[in-house]
Chains A and B, each alone.
Chain A
Amino acid sequence: MTNAPFAALEIGTSKVCALVGELREDGNIMITGMGNCPSFGVRKGVIVDLEKAAGCVQTAIQEAETSGSVEIRQVYLLVNGEHIRGSLNQGSVPVFDPARGISADDIDDVTDIARAINLPHDNELLHTIPQTYSVDGQAGIINPQGMHGARLSLDMLIVHGSRNILNNTIKAARDVGLEVLDVAFSGLCSALAALTPEQKECGAAVFDLGAGTTSHVVYADDAIAAMGVIAVGGDHITNDISQGFTISLRRAEALKQEAGAAVTDTGDRFRRIVIPQEVGFPACSVAAGDLNSIINARMDETFRIIKNELEKKSLLQELGAGVILTGGGSHLKGVETLAEEIFGVSCSIGKPRYFSGISTVHDGPEYTAPLGMIRYAIRSTTKQPKKPFSPLDLIKKWLG
């Protein structure tokens, strides 16, 4: 079954994307089909118009079926949005037989206890991610099996989100006849596709710069140490430009993509950018300095919000492998420079690892999350047989 194709579906703010991929014998993942549709009815990563969103899903799935010459009935669904949160929970158990050391049963017990968290009543659990163990208060232990101690504790990162919003996303896929096999937080999927094992070990942050949201996932000591989503993204930049220059959102988007940069240059303030004439709108011009100031202000603010989060958790000094940017927003000129300036570590655009097939997919940072989802799907199915997903059965283990 390992070689059967997997389909990942992302209902994003700017695009709905479906990818089909399969595991090759060399361990690489081959992307065999893809479908894309500009997204309607999604704002800040959350569906606001179910009917429109379902229509986009249909188009993207059909395109992926044609390009991959497969029939897609089952999908792995990415979810996103500010409602998705990560909370840290610690579980502790007394070691059953201190004389013989910590056993596998003790580890299972502490895992169960650390996973048991009282979520807000309208929230659903998405992932539970074990971090490091501590034995008798000594922290930072990666594998405690066989160690001596009286008390074993485990820190668990619990990823959860609003049940209604998650169900709406699932519904958009079900409405077009798809079966949802599993859901995963798209920020985690981006990290899964973009990071190498070495980077995870050294510590790295993956920022997914989406149209509706900006998420971050931080690896420290080979474990996910923090995650978060802010409902601010490329759409905000476009909206800022549109309001600043009083031009249409469409023109603002074009301006951002073609001429915008996240860093300002002294030369910019003396340069004007001409927006060509089109039906109903005369040609006009804006100052390049103003454009880049608008973008810079927004990106600077977003990065600093994340930086604050990481500072609070003392994670800034853990980023040995730096910051990796993924998502469509990482196409923005100068965005790496700005991130380097703010975080004080090296920064690069994420290149999905160990993928082959349709080249636009693994070259474009905007496909990192669905690529990661395919890896997630392959890993989860090789461990245990998959039964159809039910919203009531969202509890699952993160295998990254």
Chain B
Amino acid sequence: MNDSISSSGREPSLLIVGVGNGGGNTVQAIARLWPDGPRMAAVNTDQRALAQLENIDRVHIGEKVLRGLGTGGDPRIARQAAESDIEKLRSLFNGIEFVIFAVGLGGGTGSGVAPLMIDEAKKAGALTLCFAMLPFEFEGSRRKEQAERGLQAIRDSADGVICLPSQRLTALIEDKSNIQEAFRKAEAMLAAGIQELWRVLNRSSMINFNFADLRAFLQSSAGNCIFCCSEGNGEQRIEMILDGIKRHILLNNCQTLADADSFVICIIGGADLAISDVNSIVNGILALGRKEALVMTGVGCEPEWRDKIHVTILAAEKGQAGDKSALTDVEHSRRDIIRKNSLGENSESGRADMIQTGLFDAVEQGRFKGINPTIVNGSNLDIPTFIRRRIPVQKAKIANI
């Protein structure tokens, strides 16, 4: 996983920010994984936690309010601290087009500061994507509630949110292993996910999956969006990948895929990536999901790779009664609406935002209504080319300015 993402053409300027203790450690993990990666920064109220980080920009906030101590797990105090140093935070986003936030939710800084920072990043004109780590159950109910509120706030401001329910990692961790290791594993998984997603956004050129697609997907999937990365190399690479997915801890024994209304499969291979490879991977994953699920794929190439394929899956998780994931009632009702949409009962909101219609769905001809259509080689050229080529486009959004 420590391949650096080679640059071809101009990539948007990226900043990865870790907020709070969990976020800072995650960014530290990314910095180790991706030594010549993009600019990385950690924002924290706790000076001691910051001091342990290396090779990343350390931004200490709330000196006046807290005198270098943590927030004691109180998001309101954390927010005050952030507001007192707002200029420091704003300057982080100068000249940045895309910000990925890594946030450990549950504590004070992550839940309190992250929403404010996301707003600032957006004001600076950057697109924002937030990876949120939800607390382990042993962290207690107070942190869980705080995490839920924080997640809601983040969801309201960020362009996209992807979750990592840490609790699922416990199965990976032997009882004897120390708590430190549990956190390290969660952080490592998040770090891999962030690097892999960035690769997908910049490399999926053969079948394009870009940020517009990602955002539309994340916004239409009102529930928790789960990610999973799997890689394979050598002769058995396809089997390795599918096996990795089947056993992936975050997919909850594939239950997440089996329930998902929609998911995204991104495949990055080397120059030797064959259409049969893509076909077997996609079919193998599709077999795990529902037949009627809407599936988007992105395929790209890292030219230096040989015999090696990385697959990233994003799936919107469906909540069930008593679900342990951090979901509010509001979320459940929103998701119900979306589910109805996908059954065709309602076409407001959700994926209806995306124009992905077929040839026969769009006969609205706008300016060319009532005049002879332009037919060339059997295609009606009055129908927008992007619709005929099935290029997804997101409708105009009302701007909040």
Contacts and interface: CB of A to CB of B under 8 A. Distances in A.
A294 B391 contact: yes
Nearest to B377: A305
A11 to B, nearest CB: 16
Given A249-B366, A274-B399, A284-B397, A244 B386 contact: yes
A298 interface: yes
Interface centre among A82, A240, A269, A287 (most CB of B within 10 A): A269
A231 interface: yes
Interface residues of A, number: 43
A162 B9 CA distance: 48
A342 interface: no
Contact of A284 (B125, B127, B372, B396): B396
Contact of A301 (B12, B211, B366, B385): B385
A161 to B, nearest CB: 15
Given A48-B371, A238-B367, A297 B396 contact: no
B244 to A, nearest CB: 29
Interface string B3-22: 00000011110000000000
Nearest to B355: A244
Interface string A287-326: 1011001100110110001000000000000000000000
B336 interface: no
B343 interface: no
A310 to B, nearest CB: 15
A297 B391 contact: yes
A236 interface: yes
Contacts of B355: 243-244
B394 A239 contact: no
Given A230-B376, A232-B381, A235-B367, A266 B393 contact: no
A290 B398 CA distance: 16
Contacts of B395: 244-246
Given A266-B12, A269-B210, A232 B374 contact: yes
Contact of A245 (B365, B372, B396): B396
Contacts of A235: 367-368
Interface string A53-93: 00000000000000000000000000000100000000000
A247 B98 CA distance: 26
B83 interface: no
A243 B387 CA distance: 10
Nearest to A291: B393
Nearest to B99: A270
A39 to B, nearest CB: 13
Interface string A225-242: 000001110011011101
A231 B387 CA distance: 18
B384 A298 contact: yes
Interface string B198-215: 000110000000111000
A244 B392 CA distance: 9
Interface in B282-327: none
Interface string B109-131: 00000000000000001110000
B386 A297 contact: yes
Nearest to B374: A231
Interface in B345-364: 355, 362, 364
A293 B401 CA distance: 26
A286 B382 CA distance: 22
Nearest to B9: A266
A353 interface: no
Contacts of A249: 366-367
Contacts of B201: 269
Nearest to B214: A269
B12 A267 contact: yes
B397 A286 contact: yes
A44 B212 contact: no
A235 B381 CA distance: 12
Contact of A293 (B366, B372, B386): B386
Interface in A252-279: 265-267, 269-272, 274-275
A392 interface: no
Contacts of B397: 284-286
A246 B396 contact: yes
Given A238-B367, A245-B395, A282-B398, A271 B10 contact: no
Given A270-B12, A272-B127, A284-B399, 6 more contacts: A236-B381, A243-B387, A245-B393, A269-B212, A271-B97, A275-B399
Among all A-B residue pairs, the 3 with the closest Cβ atoms: A240-B384, A297-B385, A284-B396
30 contacts: A44-B368, A44-B371, A44-B372, A44-B374, A231-B372, A236-B382, A239-B367, A242-B367, A243-B364, A243-B384, A244-B384, A245-B393, A266-B10, A267-B12, A269-B201, A269-B211, A270-B211, A274-B401, A283-B398, A285-B399, A286-B397, A287-B211, A294-B385, A297-B384, A297-B386, A297-B389, A298-B384, A298-B386, A301-B389, A305-B376
Interface of A: 43-44, 48, 82, 230-232, 235-236, 238-240, 242-247, 249, 265-267, 269-272, 274-275, 282-287, 289-290, 293-294, 297-298, 300-301, 305
